Amino acid sequence: MDHRSDLGNKRGLKPKCQTMRLTTLLSVFLITFLSCKKGDSTPTPTPDPGPVKQTDITAVDSKVQTFMSSYNIPGASLAITKNGKLVYVKGYGKANTATGEDVTPAHRFRLASVSKTFTGVAIMKLVQDGKLNLDALVFGAGGVLGTDYGTAPYNANLLKITVRHLLQNVSGSWGASTGGDVIDQNPSYTYKQFFDWLLATRPNPKAPGTVYDYSNVNFVLAGRIIEKISGKTYINYIKEDIMAPIGGTQTEMSGKTEAEQKTKEVKYYGQGNDLNFVYSIAFPRRDADGGLMTTATDLIRLVTAIDGSTTRPDILNSTNLTALTTPSSVFSGYACGIGIWTAENVWFNYGSLPGTRTAFMRNANGMCVALLLNSRVDPTTNETPFVYAMQDMILDFTKNSSYSWQNIDQF
């Protein structure tokens, strides 16, 4: 036998056997694959449920609605944060009773004296940026405003007023017991005309820093300091340098008349003697003491940006935040445009003008609340129950642990 031939046959058979084996394996694979496809029971992926929506809290809503009904408040807007997260935001009642328009979280309200907190923060931001000293003199040679207003020589008490004195309401001038708060007099005057008249006709009876006397004039002067140092109008500095960096877009200057109502601004309703003054306030001249308007959400944005917590970035560093919230030596309840309630461990501010009542509160436990109303009880009557009812409700929202705040963030 020819062995070469045999070897040749063996070498020739080997690839043939491999081909048969591969064909068999391929057939088994295809049968298995097709049978799996036919009976494939792989579940369809669950769609993304999207962000968790706010669930209304009956106890909160009932408390707000009962308060509004008790004091004839047409509309309100509420915003609540927990540890920097916007956990509850809601509108109540009517933005306009004639049209039936409901208040929503997008509606804007005049802030009245809550504007002072914005002014205090703006001054502190200029200090933080190295452009201003909180203890700089305001008037006279070397003063921030120099001789911009009035006529030199100025009296000794006027020459001692500092920027800090203005913000702490310890200027010794222009309050109820220190010459009278005349912010609404001569409403047609420009700032220049108004302050020329003020310095020429109103006394400066107390040495600055010796007595607390709440004054809107102090803060309108602070507004002029903001303008002079920043080179911007007051409202533009607030919008561009304070609110824009923290995502606030709804803060604006109030209009005086109903015809000047802004987009998504509520209508204001006067009670009693307020009725004829709702649309006659000296806006926009009263800018830095009470002229801002915004939503409850934008207000609480600012509050959580000055709350001293690390849960959301603060606009002020610790040094300037401490300065903002440090009261004068003569009155422990008011710092630089912000109230201090040591017993309850809260910072706060309240605003009140004809047709408007507003408030915010920051609790050291991480809770912050903003509440805006488009009416108030006539202060010439007994408004005390109304004022305390509003305060108690807001304080309850910050400290009552029975409310089931969701772990959501609606900022």
**Residue 244: CB atoms within 10 Å:** 12
Note the pLDDT tens digit of each residue in 212-236: 999 999 999 999 999 999 999 999 9
pTM: 0.88
Q: Note the pLDDT of residue 387.
A: 98
Q: Note the pLDDT of residue 132.
A: 98
Query: CA dihedral in degrees (86, 375, 112, 247; nearest 10)?
Result: 20
- What is the phi/psi pair of residue 351, to 5°? -130, 145
How far is 134 from 166, CA to CA, in rounded Å? 10
- What is the phi/psi pair of residue 87, to 5°? -95, -20
Q: Are 114 and 299 in contact (CB under 8 A)?
A: yes
- What is the phi/psi pair of residue 350, to 5°? -125, 145
Q: Note the pLDDT of residue 52.
A: 80
CA angle in degrees (0–180, nearest 5) for 403-409-411:
120
Q: Are 52 and 408 in contact (CB under 8 A)?
A: yes
Could you tell me the domains of the chain? 58-399 (3.40.710.10)
Q: Note the pLDDT of residue 32.
A: 41
CA angle in degrees (0–180, nearest 5) for 283-289-294:
70
Q: Note the pLDDT of residue 47.
A: 58
Q: Note the pLDDT of residue 45.
A: 61
Interstrand relation of 252-253 and 292-294 (parallel, antiparallel or unpaired): antiparallel
- Give the single-character DSSP code of 137: B
**Residue 277: CB atoms within 10 Å:** 13
How far is 100 from 14, CA to CA, in rounded Å? 92
Residues of the chain with pLDDT under 50: 1-40
**Residue 163 corresponds to which tokens in the numbers above?**
């920027």
Residues 6+ apart with CB under 8 A from 1: none
Nearest to 409 by CA among 79, 49, 85: 85
Cβ-count burial of 401 within 10 angstroms (0-12 exposed, 13-18 middle, 19+ buried)? exposed
Q: Note the pLDDT of residue 389.
A: 98
Task: Give the ranges where 42-114 is alpha helix by DSSP (H).
Answer: 58-70
